[in-house]
Amino acid sequence: MEIRAAATGDVEGAIALHDALAPYLVVTRGAVTRRLASPAVAGNGTFAAVDAGEVVGWATTELIAGSEPLDGQLRLLVRPDHRGRGIGSKLLEATHEDLRSAGATSARVFADPATVEWATRRGYRQTRQVHYAGIDPRKAPEVPGIPTGVELVPLTDVDPQQLYEADQVAQRTKPGDANITSRPYDDWLAAIWRSRDMVLDLSVAALYQDQLVAFTLGHGDRNRIWSKMTATLPQYRGRGLAKLVKSAALQRAAGAGVRGAYTANYDGNAPMLAVNEWLGYDRVTTHAVLICPL
Residue type, 189: L
pLDDT at 115 over 90: yes
pLDDT at 87 over 90: yes
Kindly indicate the confidence band of residue 250, based on its pLDDT and cuts at 50, 70 and 90.
Answer: very high
**CATH match of 2-104 with 2.60.40.10:** no
CA 17, distance to chain mean position in Å, is: 18
Q: What is the pLDDT of residue 200?
A: 98
Contacts of 122 (CB under 8 A, 6+ apart): 89, 92, 292
Q: What is the pLDDT of residue 176?
A: 83
Kindly indicate the confidence band of residue 234, based on its pLDDT and cuts at 50, 70 and 90.
Answer: very high
Pair 270, 131: CB distance under 8 Å: no
Query: What is this structure's pTM?
Result: 0.94
- Report cis status (omega within 30 of 0) of the bond before 69: yes
Strands 106-111 and 71-78: what pairing? parallel
CATH 3.40.630.30 in the chain, residues?
A: 2-104, 135-284
Residue type, 20: A
Q: What is the pLDDT of residue 177?
A: 85
pLDDT digits (tens, 9 = 90+) for 13-47: 999 999 999 999 999 999 999 999 999 899 999 99
Average pLDDT, whole number, for the chain? 96
Q: Kindly list the distances between the CA atom of residue 15 and the CA atoms of 51, 210, 219, in Å, as whole numbers in the listed order.
A: 16, 41, 16
Q: What is the pLDDT of residue 178?
A: 86
User: May I ask the CATH class of domain 135-284?
Assistant: alpha beta
The residues pairing with 208 across neighbouring beta strands, listed in sequence order, are 150, 211
Q: What is the pLDDT of residue 285?
A: 97
pLDDT digits (tens, 9 = 90+) for 251-271: 999 999 999 999 999 998 999
pLDDT at 175 over 90: no
Q: What is the 3-state secondary structure (H, E, C) of the chain?
A: CEEEECCHHHHHHHHHHHHHHCHHHCCCHHHHHHHHHCCCCCCCCEEEEEECCEEEEEEEEEECCCECCCEEEEEEEECHHHCCCCHHHHHHHHHHHHHHHCCCCEEEEEECHHHHHHHHCCCCEEEEEEEEEEECHHHCCCCCCCCCCEEEEEHHHCCHHHHHHHHHHHHHHCCCCCCECCCCHHHHHHHHHCCCCECHHHCEEEEECCEEEEEEEEEECCCEEEEEEEEECHHHCCCCHHHHHHHHHHHHHHHCCCCEEEEEEECCCHHHHHHHHHHCCEEEEEEEEEEEEC
